[in-house]
Amino acid sequence: MVDTTLIRKVLVANRGEIAVRIIRACRELGGIHTVAVYSEADREALHVRYADEAYNIGRPAPRESYLSIEKLLDVARRSGADAVHPGYGFLSERAEFAQAVIDAGLTWIGPSPDAITKMGDKLAAREIMQKAGVPVVPGTPPGLNNGALRHEADKIGYPLMVKAAAGGGGKGMRIVRDPDQLVAALASAHREAEAAFGDGTIYLEKLLEGARHIEFQVLADEHGNTIHLGERECSIQRRHQKLFEESPSPFMDDDLRAKMGTAAVSAAQAVNYVNAGTIEFLVTPEKEFYFLEMNTRLQVEHPVTEIVTGIDLVKEQIRIARGRRMGPVDGVTVSGWAVECRINAEDPYNNFLPSVGEVTVHIAPTGPGIRLDSGIYAGYEVTPYYDSMLAKLIAWGETRGEALLRMRRALSEYKIMGLKTNLPFHQKLIDSTRFLAGRYDTQFVDGFMDMQGDTSSAEIDRVEAAAILATLVEHEQRQRALQFASTNGPNRDMSSWKRSARRW
């Protein structure tokens, strides 16, 4: 492909720290202007202030703003954007959005709609991987009803996982350790998957006890180049949500890394993948690995790969979307160690209940080897409408020990006041001798990181549901009062100068 695709203005179809991250990459490439979108709840958000232009796209609920393909394309048309970057979450892995962008004559900064479709359905992805010779976790074929699933469960053996075919983030996922639990797990997983993704299809997989969650970053261009950029260890999770990542993994050796890297490249090539993506694996204590899924987008944890390789993944995404040959074709060198803590608005002492309110104090850690990807500032209002992640704190060192010591120092410096955060969780994690020794798996948080006492899980679920509901009601009442008093129309667009002048 000839390098003729021009990108002068990018619509960033996202919010928060990832939107800020994309805006910065565009600015560093030179000559690329950025367009932000924001809901009424995000009028004062950092990404709105940083972009060259910003447009209101509706009410706080994602389905009325950030998930509205029609509104996003309307902003692209009005602003004169010629490309769209979806970030992660929201519409980033929706093939219909990618196709709509392409049909509108815009450049989609991501993989093809066909690749998104193939890898977005976990059952279809399993079949593709099997044909490509990539190991997959033992499980059921697609299209089985509940009766057949119960029959197959006995063949697979317990414990096992009930999983949704569509989506991710732990939705529609259940662990079943006993046959008596299966019927209820199938029913609840089906309901949750239908509600979250509009697709209630589920399947079964063998639960790999003691497994680690290790993923490989892949990069591919339209000139036939497909490479991997090493691995990320993502086993520190709670309810299948990642909390801490590092690169490289303390579990890996050179032989296993070579085998998994080759499998990751084969997986990407099997769907003619172009742009940045991630192949996720489960790895047993015996170092047997199995394909888990492919994320056809930029990952939250991409900074650890950027730091150890020196490669800016967002810039590479844009270069590849332009039709150019990616930069690191001749090989990737990994230098040192990087670790990342996801800083969430959650109370770790109260079952990680979401926390909302105004950030009254925000003192960011700095110093050698420290990077902070953040979407907040003092005076920023955290709302209950979106994911609880506020920032990502990353530390680099020549060794894992140095990186962790720097992270410990940075965590002690980081001050966020006005609401609860999970900073105490990360401080406790860094002080865990078992964690420091690298002896952990995906069950580590549940088994070794209890921060809330002996409250029963049923009582915790009831308290959590009630607290979330109360928080949402209180915030909506506050928003109604603010809207009533506001003189700004719901669709008023602002230049960056006017936006900055309001409160900055």
What domains are there in the chain, each with its CATH number?
9-109 (3.40.50.20), 138-206 (3.30.1490.20), 212-448 (3.30.470.20)
> What's the confidence (pLDDT) of residue 399?
97
Buried b (16+ CB within 10 A) or exposed e, 260-298: bbebbbbbbebbebbbbbbbbbbbeeeeebbbbbbbbbb
Whether the model clears a pTM of 0.95, i.e. scores above it, the answer is no
Stated as kind and residue range, the H or E segment containing 235 is strand 226-238
Active site residue 297: yes
Nearest CA to 403 among 248, 229, 213, 243?
248
CA–CA separation, 184 vs 434, rounded Å? 35
Question: How many Å apart are CA 110 and CA 116, to the nearest integer?
Answer: 9
Residue recorded with tokens 């929706």: 94
* Alpha carbon distance 127, 282 (integer Å): 17
Which two structure tokens, joined as six digits, stand for 359? 């950030």
Burial class of residue 170 (count of CB atoms within 10 Å of its CB; 0-12, 13-18, 19+)? middle
Give the residue carrying structure tokens 């399993």. 126
The edge-to-edge listing of strands for the beta sheet with 202-206 is 174-176, 160-164, 202-206
Of 15, 126, 297, 322, catalytic: 297
- Quote the pLDDT of residue 141: 79
Q: DSSP assignment, residue 327?
A: G
Q: Are 8 and 79 in contact (CB under 8 A)?
A: no
Low-confidence ranges of the chain (pLDDT < 50): 1-2, 454-460, 464, 485-492, 494-504
Query: Which of 81, 159, 25 is closest to 443 using CA atoms?
Result: 159
Q: Which helix (H) or strand (E) holds 213?
A: strand 212-220
What pLDDT does 479 receive? 56
Paired residues of 11 in beta bridges? 35, 84
Q: Please tell me what DSSP assigns to residue 238.
A: E
For residue 469, the model assigns a pLDDT of: 56
- Residue in the structure block whose two tokens are 């120092």: 409
Cα–Cα distance for residue pair 449/452, rounded to 1 Å: 9
